[in-house]
Amino acid sequence: MQREDEFWKKRLENDRESLRGLGSSAMAVKVEEAQRELVETDLAWQERLAVVEHDLQVARAELMHERESTMRAQADGEMAVLRTIEGFWQAQKEGQPPPN
């Protein structure tokens, strides 16, 4: 990002110097204004992208947390089913009626 800023600053200075040599001050002002707007727009987009990147990282973290919670809940449910089956099996093995 800093490299891009340096590039635009250097380009702006080079363009200013070349336009000063031409002697067209009105055109030079317009070009400087356009270049300044370009740099400002670039910086604004970089800031927006940084915010979006942060939001994306937060969303990914939330999704991973939800996924882990879901997996734990599913595993707990499966363990409960297996314990119930084991209880019925033990009851049949011992010849007792299954627990209610």
42-98 residue pLDDT tens: 999 999 999 999 999 999 999 999 999 999 999 999 999 999 999 999 988 887 665
Question: If you search the block for the tokens 């994306």, which residue do you land on?
Answer: 56
Going by pLDDT thresholds of 50, 70 and 90, the confidence category of residue 22 is low
CA distance 43 to 49: 10
More confident residue, 31 or 21: 31
The pLDDT value recorded for residue 8 is: 74
The pLDDT value recorded for residue 68 is: 96
For the chain, domain boundaries = 2-71
